[in-house]
Amino acid sequence: MSEAVGIKRTVCMWCHNHCKVELHIEGDRLIEMQENRQHRAAALYARTVRACPRARAAAEWFHHPDRLNYPLKRAGQRGEGQWETISWEQALDEIAQRLDGVRKQYGPEAIATTSGTYRSHDEYRTRFFNLLGSPNHMGQGHICWGISNMVAAAVLGWPGNAPGLRPGTTKCILIMGANPPEAHQFLWQRMLECLNAGAKLIVIDPRRITAAQRADIWLQPRPGTDCSVLMSMIQVIIEEGLYDREFVARWCHGFEELSRCARGYSPEEVARTSWVPADKIREAARLYATSRPAATFHHMGLEHLTNHVEALHARFILPAITGNVDVKGGDLIRPTYPHIIPEYEIELNEMLPEEQKKKALGGERFPFISWPGYELVRENLNRVWGHGFARSHHCYAHAPTVFRAMITGQPYPVRALITAASNPLVTMPNAKLVYQALQTLDLYVVSDFWLTPSADLADYALPAASWLERPTIFDGQDTISSIEVGETAFPPFREGRYDRRTDFELWRGLGIRLGQKEHWTWETLEEAYNYRLAPMGYTLKEFLDKKGGLDSLPSEYAKYQKIGFATPTGKVELYSTILEKLGRDPLPRYEEPAESHVSTPSLAGDYPLVLTTGGRFLPMYHSEHRQVASLRRQHPDPIAQINPVTASELGIKDGDWMWLETPRGRMKQKCQYYAGIDPRVVHAEHGWWFPEMPAGGPGLHGVWVSNVNVLTDDAPEHCNKSSGGWPLRALLCKVYKC
């Protein structure tokens, strides 16, 4: 290697593997990205990073000519694609002045924000909005990691979904609604080590995904019925006495109530609902319950269900009644890394007045993942652990309710929106309604790497610094037992070429202009991170030099024997007293999707197929990377998977473009014959827009062409009754050739 090539070590934030990487740099050019060979898990990261198409395209992404480089101000009508380049100072001055006008006329709650999938530093967004006085933060936590953590905290007293995989020790792995080979490659490598050492694998998924092909048992449910399948497994385990009697008697609350509830979920009954044969349900339940220790893992396949609180509740009950909680080789409880200032403290949640918390739109109707539920959960975490977890992806306003308030002014007006690290026109449900809502705003600001369809509608489009242009502290929003620190690889400013800024600088700049100066004493993100690391006696640079950018707590099992569980009863709450206190069902009962052959048979006549969406696919990640040529060549078109028998009956050939239509609209994707899907089901990819299409006019970079959220449902009456999560995995559709 040439001496002119330097190496920077950081944490990749292009997905949730958070790989520890080395960036090889020559002058001002990124040459390549490799695994961090000094990391203690370098061998696993090598397999993940070297196989990652995004890692191979890192230089192409970073040096892409279409990156946003300077702040843009809308020059024509909204969405026309006419822009004026301005300075950051002008942009922040004007945005702050207009925000202040909205605040004075309508109140701070009239200003909202949308966030993405926690790959930035949202503790500072939350700080800004708490000091501003607005509770209206919308994001993906309703149907993502946030709701999973909240349910686990209510049931187990801490966020779950942490499989403690140990080759030779872990005897069984249960995967629910996740495809690690596509979405969690680092974890999949560890799973393969366990399988090669003799562990069994059970997969629950409507598609015969890569993990299902490797499974000993594959359960293929009708989309939307996962809760019924999990409850049926619980029924078998209880009925056949396969549960851990000692653990249940000592550490579980509500076993009798759960037992009575589970009686309604016999495999024969559930087979009629879910399409999963009764004998397969029994086989899976027996294998999981008798192969201890067993580890479990789920992902968006559960979070995207309308019935997701209930499905997640059942999912966390399974390891509890089988004695697989916080045991070696089973499911871990990972307390917060305690040696730094937590994100929660940075957020200044105590600065948001109680009367403003009550104004969080949708919080009263959907209390669990808004302030009422979050404060109940946090109260118990504080009592047992002495700390909780950050608010920013666990406590929200309800996005469909906020967008309706923009349109109707009810229950009060929402007139300004700041979008950072998200693309709501592509990633929020019911895209036509989102478009209508964005058009009504007095002020819309977008901070992003690119001009996305959402940015096309903005009054100001601001160039964001990427993870390559900022330092990183990753601590899982106070939910994991380690921290990973990364250094800045490239400066976000180069004279005459670009001037990008971190989210921290955006929120600090606006905050100072809106009267928050005393709360923004750090001038840079690195200074703010130095403050967080100060209890350890390190600066960020010193932590990198002396700790190699990594520190973690030693493994400890069965922690509950010393401190109990951080729930109101001090036990695993099979019967959730937190949900009960919120006026919701304390037990996980299955409910039929709002749109199905069962609940809406008349609609099914016109829309005979079940539509599911949201499955991960490489090399894309959600709505990202469509403009990167090498990645686009690998996956040039949006793909809808359909069983060959169904497609042939409809006169659709493999590779044909086909329309997918629901009561909310239609869009087109390319047909892929896929035998691993039920003939009654179609899977459509999400996140699609076309950077190569014109930005101006109604097209907005092709946002209406193949965007599955043209089809999805966000009606509040169809959302989860506890959380407000919207249905993405169980809708009715029809398909026909273009």
Predicted confidence (pLDDT) per residue in 167-224, tens digit: 999 999 999 999 999 888 889 999 999 999 999 999 999 999 999 999 999 999 999 9
SS3 assignment, position 563: helix
Q: pTM above the 0.85 mark?
A: yes
**pLDDT (tens digit per residue) in 416-445:** 999 999 999 999 999 999 999 999 999 999
Q: Which one is predicted more confidently, 300 or 245? A: 245
Q: Give the pLDDT of residue 42.
A: 87
pLDDT score of 67 more than 80: yes
Are the C-beta atoms of residues 723 and 309 closer than 8 Å to each other?
yes
pLDDT given at position 475:
93
Gap between the Cα atoms of 311 and 228, Å rounded: 8
Torsion, CA 311, CA 312, CA 318, CA 320, rounded to 10: -150
Per-residue model confidence (pLDDT) at position 106: 98
Average pLDDT of the residues of the chain: 96
Asked if the model's pLDDT at residue 723 lies above 70, the reply is: yes
Assigned token pair, 452: 């996305």
Q: How far from each other are the two terminal CA atoms of the chain, in whole angstroms?
A: 53
Q: What is the percent of the chain where pLDDT is above 70?
A: 99
Residue 3: the pLDDT is: 46
The per-residue pLDDT for 2 is 46
In sequence order, which residues have a C-beta less than 8 Å from that of residue 179 and are 6 or more positions away? Answer: 205, 209, 210, 211, 299, 615, 616
pLDDT above 60 (res 108): yes
Is 178 in contact with 190 (CB distance < 8 Å)? Answer: no
Residue 697: the pLDDT is: 79
Closest by Cα among 300, 302, 391 to 345: 391
3-state secondary structure 71-124: CEEECCCCCCCCEEECCHHHHHHHHHHHHHHHHHHHCHHHEEEECCCCCCCCHH
List Cβ neighbours of 335 (8 Å cut-off, separation of 6 or more). 158, 385, 481, 553, 559
pLDDT-derived band at 1, boundaries 50, 70, 90: very low
Range 23-38 average pLDDT: 95
> How confident is the model at residue 4, as a pLDDT?
62
> Alpha carbon of 311 to those of 220, 233, 235, 450: distances in Å?
16, 12, 14, 36
pLDDT tens across 360-401, in order?
999 999 999 999 999 999 999 999 999 899 999 999 999 999
Q: What is the pLDDT of residues 265-290, one digit of tens each?
A: 999 999 999 999 999 999 999 999 99
The dihedral sign for the CA sequence 602, 605, 608, 612: negative
B/e letters for 60-88, b = 16+ CB within 10 Å, e = fewer, are: ebbeeeebbebbbbbeeeebebebeeeeb
